[in-house]
Amino acid sequence: MIEATVEPVPDGAPTVGLPCVEGADVAISCLDEDEDAQEPIRVVTEAGRRGLALPGDIQDPAHCLHLIERTVSELGRLDILVNNAAFRNVVDDIQDLTREDWDRAFRTNVYAMFHLSKAALQHIPAGGAIINTTSIQADQPSATLLHYASTKGAIVTFTKGMAEVGLKQGVRVNAVAPGPVWTPLIVSTMPSEQHTEFGSDGPMGRPAQPAELAPSYVFLASQDSRVIAGEVIGVAGGKPLA
């Protein structure tokens, strides 16, 4: 999940890296991976913008409110909210899917999105945006990801309903639906013998890299998408959304 403040790129500013080119100061929420969070913060700051890493568990509604308030306090404003955090694990049989994992998936993937969006709407001005991350799993669910796929379906529904709410104050709400993407989440939740096959069953024959998804988020955050709301952009390597 990323919250960002957006300002015009000053004349003469360097154009190294996406954050500088797009003119965003960025706050990144992380659970406890502070070292990992520092890398994107380094890229942001080297590009001449401000970066802020905010550790904590977004399963806690109070922490969600803290994220929004601290971002506004330290960066001065909030124009864009990206709800991107997720929990998933592979469970071969529903009898092995625990209530704890089911609850954690919904608290992380859905409840946090609700709390963050609700708090953010108190600050995002007209022209701003909320971008949620759903998944191809919302349309083509895997039985081994039943809890994760269910949350992604909920995100699609939430996005479509929230679009109408957001437009009342000029805020666009949309979503991005990735297909297979090679991220640490995959490595940590998939048996190692399946790594080489991950994403190979799609039309493109490979998983996407995270950087290949970035332009879709930038588009939905920018005024180039100013008449788009309540939509889900598929970035699934040729796999069709329903």
pLDDT tens digits, one per residue of 14-67: 333 333 346 889 999 998 877 788 888 998 999 899 999 999 999 999 999 999
Q: How confident is the model at residue 112 (pLDDT cuts 50, 70, 90)?
A: very high
State how far the Cα of 137 lies from the Cα of 151, in Å rounded to an integer: 9
Dihedral sign of CA atoms 26, 32, 34, 40 in order: negative
Residue 13 contacts residue 39 (beta carbons within 8 Å): no
Quote the pTM value.
0.85
Residues with active-site annotation: 148
Question: What topology does CATH give the domain 2-235?
Answer: Rossmann fold (3.40.50)
The tokens describing 218, both together, are: 């930038």
Give the domain ranges of the chain: 2-235
Q: Please give the pLDDT value at position 143.
A: 96
8-state DSSP, 232: E
Which amino acid is present at 103? Answer: D
